[in-house]
Each structure stands twice: as structure tokens, then as C-alpha cells.
Structure 1
């Protein structure tokens, strides 16, 4: 089997089911759980892209547009959209899916800033996104 191309990965996807222990008193996904899932996906996307240890520096404007109900499937999609010298901005979306009907809705969106670290825990340089390096961004 031939090895897969070694191109930088800028996206991560995770799937979760909203169980009762993930919900608030209204039977919808607890905001703190949503943020934890989003941060985890941002971490994975930034780690895959940079191939370094990363930490969360900031979460920016997280918009909870629609509630996510118990029993729904949640797809968390994180994309590295901008790269600085040591930082990566990662956009994250939560999409709820009804498993019986297949209906999908964007419910939550936010942006996370992740910092790449070297082996001593200090900020480390990250390669630019291909479109940034070409001057197209």
C-alpha cells in the first residue's frame, strides 16, 4: 500500500451523541460541554496542521445559534483558517443531526486561537497556510 500524501491537514472532525449527562435542565447540550468539544477539535486541527504541541490561547466570539437536543448527533468541524508566526486561528462549528430524519443544522460557531510550543514549552514558529505563503490570502 502506498503512503498517503504528506500534505498539511487543516481540518478535524469529531462525532458525539448528546446523552443525558451532557445536558442542562432544559434537555439541551450544556454550553460548557459544547465549548469543551469545540476546544478539543480546535486542538486536534491545530496539532495536525503544525505537528507540534499546542495550547489554547483564546476563544473568541462563540455564537450559540440553536439548541442541540438530547439524542442528536453532533458533528464538530474545526478548520485552521489563519496562521501567524506561532499562532493558529481555528474556526469551529457544531452541526446537529437528527439521526432518524437526517436533518442537519448549524447550531454553534466560534473561533479559537491556538499557540504552537517547542519542546521547552515556548512559542514555536508555524508554517504558513499554502494560500498565505502564495500571497493569495
Structure 2
């Protein structure tokens, strides 16, 4: 097994296929399903970064730019982009990919605020983001 890196991970990626039960009457991904996948990716990124229990405190400015169609591959990419004392800002991008052509498009983007909790469920400090190297 490879040891964990010295610096905390700041990114999480998830892949899903859009099946019929994920879509609306137009054959496109339900917005609520997209939000659930985004929140899950934000949770994973923040948990890996803080190595603590985390909860979602807020979602901001979720922009649904393009529809995602049934049968497309969806890559959800969450990155911890800012850290406060107990909170983390996680930017989440949702990219749809046509499996036959390989064409990829950014379809949805949002930002989630995640709070780190201690064993008693009280907000607790998180490490600072690493600075630029060099």
C-alpha cells in the first residue's frame, strides 16, 4: 500500500452514467440529481482534505449551463479552493462526455461551503491550503 502524501488531497472525481431514472420528461438529467452528485463530490473532497467529519453548510451560485442527456458520461470534479478556520469552499464542475465521440462540455458549476466537525459535532479547525511551491 502506498503511504498517504504529506499534503492533504484537495480534489475528488466521480464518474456516473445518466440512466433513464436520472432524467426528466425531456431525457435530460434532473437538476436535483446533479446537485446530489455535486454535494457528494464536495463532501468527499472536503473530507479527504480535512480528514474530519464534514457537513454541507451552503451551496452557492449553481449555474446549469447546458443540459446533460441520457446516456452521457458525467464527471463531477470537486476542488477545495479556499479554507477558513472551520470551513472549506469547494468548487464543483460537472462535465458531460459523449462516449462515442469523446466530446466533453462543462455543463454545471457550483460552489459548496463545507464545515469540519470534531467528535462532539462542533465546528473545528481545518489545515491551511498549501501555498505555491517555488
TM tier, smaller: over 0.9
Unaligned runs of 5+ in 2: none
Partner of 2:14: 14
Q: Structure 1 residues 2, 13: CA separation in 2 closer, same or farther (over 3 Å shift)? A: closer
CA offset digits 1:23-51 (Å, max 9, x no partner): 01110000000000000000000000000
Runs of 4 or more off by more than 6 Å in structure 1?
Answer: none
Q: Structure 1 residues 118, 2: CA separation in 2 closer, same or farther (over 3 Å shift)? A: closer
TM norm structure 2: 0.95
Q: Structure 1 residues 2, 107: CA separation in 2 closer, same or farther (over 3 Å shift)? A: closer
How many aligned positions are there? 133
TM norm structure 1: 0.93
Q: Counterpart of 1:9 in 2: which secondary structure?
A: coil
Superposition map of 1:1-137 within 5 A: 3-131=3-131
CA offset digits 1:115-136 (Å, max 9, x no partner): 000000000000110129x9xx
Q: Distance in 2 between matches of 1:75 and 1:2?
A: 25
Tell me how far 1:96 sits from its aligned partner: 0.1
Tell me how far 1:100 sits from its aligned partner: 0.4
Tell me how far 1:2 sits from its aligned partner: 5.4
Q: Distance in 2 between matches of 1:54 and 1:4?
A: 20
In angstroms, what is the RMSD of aligned CA positions? 1.4
Q: Distance in 1 between matches of 2:8 and 2:28?
A: 35
Q: Distance in 1 between matches of 2:87 and 2:49?
A: 11
Unaligned runs of 5+ in 1: none
Moved more, 88-97 or 1-10: 1-10
